[in-house]
Chain A
Amino acid sequence: EPEVTQTPSHQVTQMGQEVILRCVPISNHLYFYWYRQILGQKVEFLVSFYNNEISEKSEIFDDQFSVERPDGSNFTLKIRSTKLEDSAMYFCARDGLGNSPLHFGNGTRLTVT
Chain B
Amino acid sequence: QKEVEQNSGPLSVPEGAIASLNCTYSDRGSQSFFWYRQYSGKSPELIMFIYSNGDKEDGRFTAQLNKASQYVSLLIRDSQPSDSATYLCAVKEAAGNKLTFGGGTRVLVKP
How far, in whole Å, are A96 and B32 apart by their CA atoms in the complex? Answer: 10
With A45-B99, A48-B97, A107-B42 given, can you name 18 additional A-B contacts, CB distance below 8 Å? A41-B103, A42-B103, A43-B90, A55-B96, A56-B96, A89-B41, A89-B43, A96-B98, A98-B97, A99-B31, A101-B32, A101-B49, A102-B34, A102-B46, A102-B90, A103-B46, A106-B42, A106-B43
A residues sitting closer than 8 Å to B (CB atoms) are 2, 31, 33, 35, 41-45, 48, 55-56, 58, 89, 91, 96-99, 101-107, 109
Assess the B46–A43 pair: CB atoms within 8 A: no
Could you tell me the distance in whole angstroms from the C-beta of A104 to the nearest C-beta in chain B? 4
How far, in whole Å, are A96 and B41 apart by their CA atoms in the complex? Answer: 23
How far, in whole Å, are A103 and B97 apart by their CA atoms in the complex? Answer: 13
A–B Cβ pairs within 8 angstroms, 17 of them: A33-B98, A35-B99, A42-B104, A43-B88, A43-B99, A48-B98, A55-B97, A58-B98, A96-B97, A96-B98, A97-B97, A98-B97, A99-B92, A101-B34, A101-B46, A101-B49, A106-B43
B residues sitting closer than 8 Å to A (CB atoms) are 31-32, 34, 36, 41-46, 49, 51, 88, 90, 92, 96-104
Could you tell me the distance in whole angstroms from the C-beta of B64 to the nearest C-beta in chain A? 17
How far, in whole Å, are A102 and B96 apart by their CA atoms in the complex? Answer: 13
How far, in whole Å, are A12 and B64 apart by their CA atoms in the complex? Answer: 41
Assess the A43–B101 pair: CB atoms within 8 A: yes
> 4 nearest interchain CB pairs?
A43-B101, A104-B43, A45-B98, A99-B32
How far, in whole Å, are A102 and B98 apart by their CA atoms in the complex? Answer: 9
Could you tell me the distance in whole angstroms from the C-beta of A59 to the nearest C-beta in chain B? 10
Known A-B contacts A99-B31, A99-B32; the reply to A105 vs B43 at CB < 8 A is: yes
How far, in whole Å, are A105 and B42 apart by their CA atoms in the complex? Answer: 9
How far, in whole Å, are A102 and B93 apart by their CA atoms in the complex? Answer: 13
How far, in whole Å, are A55 and B92 apart by their CA atoms in the complex? Answer: 15
How far, in whole Å, are A43 and B36 apart by their CA atoms in the complex? Answer: 11
Contacts of B31 in A (CB 8 A): 99
How far, in whole Å, are A35 and B104 apart by their CA atoms in the complex? Answer: 16
Contacts of A105 in B (CB 8 A): 43
